[in-house]
Amino acid sequence: MTLLFLEDMFKFKDMKWFNAGLKKAPTKRRYLVSTAGQPNWGDEFITRAWIRWLAKSEPDSDIWLDCPNPSHASLLFRNEHPHLHVVNTLWQLIWNTSDLLNDSEAAAKKIRGWIRNGGTPREDFGIDLLREMDTVHLLGGGYINQLWKANALLLVALAQLKELDPQILIYGTGLGLAPLEGVDLVLARMSFPAFDHLSVRDDKSADIAGVDCGFDDAFLEVANTKFDWLERDLSARAFVCLQQDVVGRNTQAVDAAVSSLLLSGVKKKEPVFLVEAIPPEDSWSLDLFKEQWDGDVWLLPFSHLWNRGFPGIDNAVWISSRFHVHLLGACAGARGIAMGFGNEYYDIKHGSLMKLGTGWSSLDMSAESPVPVSAMVNADFQAEALRIARKKKNEAARLY
């Protein structure tokens, strides 16, 4: 009886092996790197755009997303590609150098050694997988700069990967790299020659990378005709997005936003949405707004934005400190105000959109006495945004 059991077991194992052999091999192995999963509206919007692009262009490929928070990202993108896997290998390698935050050269040496030889038992499985990829792609966003200087090690890791296997194609698209300085700038510039394709979204990043200025990756989703990224069924036309990360909580910003809404023709009895691009941090000013605004003030949570789309209301008025809210609001044709805090990182970002011609007003909160402004828009920008979106679509088509 034991012999019969063993015989049946080996037959079963052989059958499993046989069935596994019949499985269709993936056409390609694509590896995407982003800061998805916090969640943060702009980062998630860009990541979803690329996953959707691959779902359309390469539905049979294996897609690996490397991001800081795989659990949240797995939920956000669970229905976007039939072969999506989410890990955090590269991010974990960077975190493993946290004791060397003030010694970027030593951290880079460790990263190169791990990519080349392993030696990080918890991450070695992921490194082995990384070496098997056809492409590795740093998705767009402003996560490699002096504010988060350790993230420049992503460039170092990919350059080392390319040195190990020149057949792996290394991409970077829509990156914001400024400000970047000192040894971190040197490490970045040493890494860029390893890239088979590199595009950036602003002039200062173009100077750092030695490439022509391109466009933010969010324009890829604007070009996506299968999904409408706008929601057109909301009961208010005034929207405010005031962050606290990077720029801190500035209670004067609430005063300036209230005055600017009134200057922009929004009646004080009208409802206003406070937009939560990063939950729950972006809701910090909700009670302050309610104290100063006669009409209703409602929170528009991230979950609503994600599930229903970005507000695309006629005659909308936006005030935003966030870059991607500025970008998408202008793409939707809304009048708007970009709120700045004298922060170089955000000045570069908003400035790149001003250069593209969004026509939004600027409200400088770094001034001793901030002067409220009226929301504006360039009536021609929607058409320009579609032209930019087609260029971004062409870039994606060249890569995949």
The answer on 113 and 205 residing in a single domain is yes
Whether 14 is covered by a domain: the verdict is: no
Whether 285 is covered by a domain: the verdict is: yes
Domain that holds residue 271: 230-385
Nearest Cα to Cα of residue 310 among 45, 80, 73? 45
For residues 66 and 101, is the Cβ–Cβ distance under 8 A?
no
- How confident is the model at residue 23, as a pLDDT? 56
Structure tokens at 49: 């755009």
Residue written as token pair 């993230």: 151
Whether 138 is covered by a domain: the verdict is: yes
Confidence band of 241 (pLDDT split at 50, 70, 90)? very high
Whether 19 is covered by a domain: the verdict is: no
Q: Is residue 192 over pLDDT 50?
A: yes
Mean pLDDT, the chain, rounded, equals 93
Q: Is residue 4 over pLDDT 70?
A: no
Q: Is residue 9 over pLDDT 50?
A: no
| pTM score, whole prediction | 0.93
pLDDT in tens, 131-177: 999 999 999 999 999 999 999 999 999 999 999 999 999 999 999 99
- How confident is the model at residue 24, as a pLDDT? 66
The answer on 314 and 177 residing in a single domain is no
The answer on 337 and 195 residing in a single domain is no
Whether 165 is covered by a domain: the verdict is: yes
What is the Cα–Cα distance from 320 to 330, expressed in whole angstroms? 11
User: What percent of the chain has pLDDT above 70?
Assistant: 94
The answer on 64 and 81 residing in a single domain is yes
CATH of the domain at 283: 3.40.50
Whether 21 is covered by a domain: the verdict is: no
Whether the upstream peptide bond of residue 280 has omega within 30° of 0, thus cis, is yes
Whether 1 is covered by a domain: the verdict is: no
For residues 186 and 152, is the Cβ–Cβ distance under 8 A?
no
3-class DSSP string for the chain: CHHHHHHHHHHHHHHHHHHHHHCCCCCCEEEEECCCCCCCHHHHHHHHHHHHHHHHHCCCCEEEEECCCHHHHHHHCCCCCCCEEEECHHHHHHHCCHHHCCCHHHHHHHHHHHHHHCCCCCCHHHHHHHCCCCEEEECCECCCCHHHHHHHHHHHHHHHHHHHCCCCEEEEEEECCCCCCHHHHHHHHHHHHHCCEEEECCHHHHHHHCCCECCCCHHHHHCCCCCCCEECCCCCCEEEECCCCCCCCCHHHHHHHHHHHHHCCCCCCCCEEEECCCCCHHHCCHHHHHHHCCCCEEEECHHHHHHHCEECCCCCEEEECCHHHHHHHHHCCCEEEEEECCCHHHHHHHHHHHHHCCCCEEEECCCCCCCCCCCECCCCHHHHHHHHHHHHHHHHHHHC
The answer on 265 and 209 residing in a single domain is no
The answer on 314 and 240 residing in a single domain is yes
Residue written as token pair 């590199």: 198
What is the Cα–Cα distance from 23 to 289, expressed in whole angstroms? 57
pLDDT in tens, 52-100: 999 999 999 999 999 999 999 999 999 999 999 999 999 999 999 999 9
Residue 225 burial (10 A CB sphere; 0-12, 13-18, 19+): exposed
Structure tokens at 44: 């998630």
Indicate the number of domains in the chain: 2
Q: Is residue 224 over pLDDT 60?
A: yes
Residue 25 burial (10 A CB sphere; 0-12, 13-18, 19+): exposed
